[in-house]
Structure 1
Amino acid sequence: MLQDMVTLGTFSTPQAVYPILRGWVFKKYINPKSVWWGYCDMDTFIGDLTQTFPYDLAQDDYDILIPTHPIEPTGGPELLFMRGHMTFFRNRRETEDRLMTYSHFKDFTHWDEMPFPGASMGEAEYSHFVVGHPGINILTFDAMAPAPYIRSSSPAGVISHPEKLRPTQNTPQALPSPLLSQLMAPSIRLSTRPTFTKRGIQHNITITQGSVPTGMGIWFKPEFASWYTAQPLPEDAHKGDTDKQQWRRFLLKVNNQWKERLEPHEEFRGHLPEEPLEDAYQWLYAHWQEEKKQAHWRGLPIDVPPADIFVSYYYDGNAAFDGQTGERTHWLPKKKEDCSTYGCVEPGQAPIMQRETFQHYTSTRSAFVEWYKESKAIRMGYATGTVGSDPSKPTQLR
């Protein structure tokens, strides 16, 4: 089993064979008294955990907490899966036992008979198992700062800001004093606000597995898909004369009963009483999965201390600000590029998938899959022969 994990880890695009196994790899670093443990990708900015983690709900009998991104207000079909970039697991033996009832984890024989793991296996095969397991209790909650809002990372956490903060002359100026003060003011105590309120709206939902809604694109085999029909947000709930009330979605699976709950998402006014923020919302994290491929992200300096305040203007670029003066210290304007899943190039340049390095990567992947299957069959005694050298070589796409 360890040999399989090490071998797959040296592949051109390393991934955990199954995310849950990270718990055993890093077990010595997890405090035994911790109630929850989890993982996150390196392209995430973590916000203020004292204010954005649902501690009151986490005391209930959930095995898995899944942070999610806000979806369209109109609702409709929505995929349900454990996010490969962030998921939390309860740190107890009962939860561990439930998670290890996955067919390929039952014993080493089942592991050896496991087919070659597909792409995003944690979001596909393993999520399909978790969602369908009647004994695994799950809570999902909107937690990721959404695009195309302006998003900041500072001592106040990860915050989304209104459109009016966009640069007026293509270059952001110094941060105004009230905004600067609020962004530099961290929380001083754990939030005691209940996550669920009397204004919450709850519905029973049905989970469909093994198929994909018409027109929905996915990145893994349809047989591993799980989805439900999300309710539209209330249309008549307004916080003022013009601005609509924002809402957060939660999914609750307890004793194999699924419910969706909508809760008002209250504005983040800041931790200082004077001159509160307007139309700002606090989030658990920001995930730069696609943004990091763009030039104004790739060009961020790596040889300077972290900025006091980082602001990503979705349509304009990235900026860093000094926390004492509010002066801008770095500015990388957004460039016009042609982007795909594999990365971004300047207009007129050959797409990455047509480049020699990418073609080498795809051929290497195909060769590695065949080599892995053959070498494993020989190692298990299902076939005879000599195992050749691993054809996988690290390849960096540019």
Structure 2
Amino acid sequence: MYIGSAQGFRLERESEYGSPEQNAAVEEIVEAVRREGDEALLRYTERFDKAKLTPERLRVTPEEIAAAYERVEPEFLAALRQAAANVTAFHEKQKRTSWMEAQPDGTMLGMVVRPLRRVGLYVPGGKAAYPSSVLMNVLPAKVAGVPEIALVTPPATGGKEGIDPYILVAAAEAGVTEMYRVGGAQAIAALAYGTASIPAVDKICGPGNIYVALAKRAVFGAVDIDSIAGPSEIAVLADDAADPRYVAADMLSQAEHDEMASAVLVTPSERLAQEVAAELRRQVATLPRREIAEASLERYGAILTVADLAEGVAVVNKLAPEHLEVITEDPLSLLGGIENAGAIFLGPYSSEPVGDYYAGPNHILPTNGTARFSSPLNVDDFVKKSSLIRYSREALRRDAAGIATLARHEGLEAHARAVEIRLEGGDG
């Protein structure tokens, strides 16, 4: 872990572009699934996931979903349902409606807002299963009005027993009825191009490993994607008002995700810097995922000292973190200067996990510094907008000369004539 002045510090982020070998492997898989459909999908599932499936066994049955409910604890289900209600309520406020504006001359302009028809959600296996991410992906789409949502997940997210029951229950609670036991780049290709068993979608959402990320990049254009998600990040901007125990605990809440996760403290307090460093050593020692958290802190952790909070805000804006906690004497006073952050948590009791699980805002956030220009997943990501234009003869007569002038300036004579021909004869 780097501990010292913020001057000259640069967070070395992991590349999201992959190695040439990884890109070549993904290209081969995606193209094979595009050409061969289910045959390639099943072949790669057997090779990578050691699961020999048939087309009939790809889709999760209603009986399996019902059985999953029997395997989850009542308190988990209650918490999940409350979280879902909070997430839904928050995203309801993001909904847009179509609009039209008529002018006295007969002109009508507007915007037609429609949901996407079909969305695919990737749910990873690997180090952990995240039912909360199922809610965060699905519920904005449901609020937007998307009628079809297909979930794909590797056939053994729950180990030898098959798909993790918590994932199945979360998906069912969110309203997903179409789930498939397939993962990796082959699942992304199936969603993008369609197979006999899995109809193609219009957009793919959800995190995954580097092969999933590269596959999403490869199919972008044939379908839309949410983003290329990088490792989790947290920055904490804090002064002497902060409790070092809180700061260290929140840094570790992200460090335990992945060895490539990043946790950074930015502070003008030398005392807080030293106390947080000590707290990190103390708290990490008892974590079940200690090895992952320690590797994350060693490679991508930092405690940066700054001259004052104004410099701290500038450092934070340069980092553009996925999660930003502001634990200062007056956090609200700093909000106006914070330009780049996926989610902003104000005050000592707004711990990052509050946003991860329960508060309502989406926890799928821009990473790798892309908070400079990207936003959290939201309802707008699941709708498309069509411009509406209706001109009257009176309005066209008024604007024709200007339209024709611009068209001819660009060398597009047919454009100009398409307007002028409508005004030939009569009183035009």
Task: Give the shorter-chain TM-score range.
Answer: under 0.3
Report which of the two has the higher share of strand.
Answer: 1
Report which of the two has the higher share of helix.
Answer: 2
TM-score norm. by structure 1 comes to: 0.18
